[in-house]
Amino acid sequence: MKLRKVPNEVFSMMDLNAKFNYRWMPDTTFSLMGLGISYLLEFFEFYGDAISKYYDRFIKNTPYEDSRFHDFISQERRHAAAHKRLNMFMAKNHLPPTREKYHPRVYDFMYMTYKTFVEPNIQGIEADEKDGKTLDGDSFREALKTLAVFETEVCMAAFSFFDNLFDKGKIEHIASLSENLAVLYLLGYHYAEEMEHCHVSIETYENIYGETLWNEKSIEQYSGNNDILSHRIINATLFVAREMGVEITVKQINSRLPDRKRSIRPGFNAKSAREKSKIDYLVNKWDLEWEPLLLSKIKQQLQERAA
C-alpha cells in the first residue's frame, strides 16, 4: 500500500471558485453523483478513523493485531483531507459542517446518518467497554462489519469506474470530454487506493470473527436491504445538484445506481486470485499510465491558462 499525494496542480486546476465546472465526465447525472459520493466517502473516512481508535485499544497485543489496518486508515485520512477541499467548496453556502461528539464534520444532509448509525454505534462500543467487552462486544463487531461492507461497496464502485471510464483506451475519450480533469484525477487517485486496501477491512473482520463476510445468505440479505446506501447517494447527489443549480430527478439518479446483487460474488475478499489480479492490473495502470497521462494534461491546461 502506497501513500500517494495529489499534486498541487490538481487542486489549482479544480477551480474551487466561481469558475468551478461540475461536469468532470460527459454524463450530467453521473457527474453529480460522483460529487455526491465525495461527501459519503469523506463522512465514512472520519467514521473509520474513529473506529481505528477502538481498534488500537482492543486489538493491540492480541493475535489479531495487523499493521495493514493502520496503512488502510492512513490512506483514508489522506482521502478525507483531499475531498474536504472540494466538499467545503461545494457546500460554501452552508458552512461549516458541525462537529458532533463522535464525528468532526457532519454536513446537514448527513446528520440523519450520524444520528441513526454513527452515534448509537459508538455509544454502544463505549457502553460495552464499560462492561468489560472489547472485541466481543456487539457494537464493535457491527462497526468492523460496516467498515468491511462499505469498503467492498467502494471497491465495486472503483471497478466500474475504471472499467467504464479508463480501461481499454476509454480514458482518452473521457479526458477529451471532461470539463474538470482535476475532479476526474481526484476520483482516480482515490479509487486506486480503495482497491489497494479493500481486502484489509474484510480480512480483519473475517479473521477476528471467523465468519465469511460475503456468502450466499449475506449477499441475499444485503441486496434485499439496499435502500440505505441508495438513499444516502440520492440525498448527497440532490444536495450537490441544487448547489450547482442543476435540475435533476430522483428517477434519473435511481436509473444510474448499480445493480448490487450482481456486483458481489460469494467469497469476495479482494485477495482471492481473481480479484487480486484485477486489482493489481488496475492499480498498476493507474500508477504507470493513467495518472501520468491525466497529470500531464492538467499541467498542459495550466500552462495554456498562464500563456
Name the residues that contact Fe ion, by CB under 5 A: 76, 79, 151, 194
Q: Within a 13 Å sphere around the CA of 31, how many CA atoms are in the beta-carbon half? A: 21
Nearer to Fe ion, 194 or 203 (CB): 194
Q: How far is the CB of 69 from Fe ion (least distance, A)?
A: 12
Nearer to Fe ion, 270 or 294 (CB): 270
C-alpha 65 chain-centroid distance: 24
Q: Within a 13 Å sphere around the CA of 157, how many CA atoms are in the beta-carbon half? A: 23
Q: How far is the CB of 112 from Fe ion (least distance, A)?
A: 22
Q: How far is the CB of 72 from Fe ion (least distance, A)?
A: 7
Nearer to Fe ion, 58 or 191 (CB): 191
Nearer to Fe ion, 76 or 275 (CB): 76
C-alpha cell at 90: 461545494
C-alpha cell at 273: 486470485
Q: How far is the CB of 155 from Fe ion (least distance, A)?
A: 8
Nearer to Fe ion, 128 or 151 (CB): 151
Distances (CA, A) of 113 to 19, 42, 143, 254, 261: 32, 13, 14, 20, 23
Q: How far is the CB of 186 from Fe ion (least distance, A)?
A: 11
Contact criterion met (CB below 8 Å) for 38 and 213: no
Nearer to Fe ion, 46 or 222 (CB): 46
C-alpha 287 chain-centroid distance: 19
Q: How far is the CB of 252 from Fe ion (least distance, A)?
A: 26
Q: How far is the CB of 197 from Fe ion (least distance, A)?
A: 6
Amino acid letter for position 264: I
Nearer to Fe ion, 81 or 228 (CB): 81
The secondary structure of residue 134, as a DSSP letter, is: S
Distances (CA, A) of 90 to 2, 180, 285: 29, 14, 30
| Number of other residues whose CB lies within 10 A of the CB of residue 196 | 24
Query: Which candidate, 148, 136, 184, places its Cα nearest to that of 23?
Result: 184
| Number of other residues whose CB lies within 10 A of the CB of residue 186 | 24
- Any idea how long the chain is? 307
The secondary structure of residue 252, as a DSSP letter, is: H
Nearer to Fe ion, 10 or 248 (CB): 10
Q: How far is the CB of 156 from Fe ion (least distance, A)?
A: 12
C-alpha cell at 89: 467548496
Q: Which residue is nearest to Fe ion (CB)?
A: 79
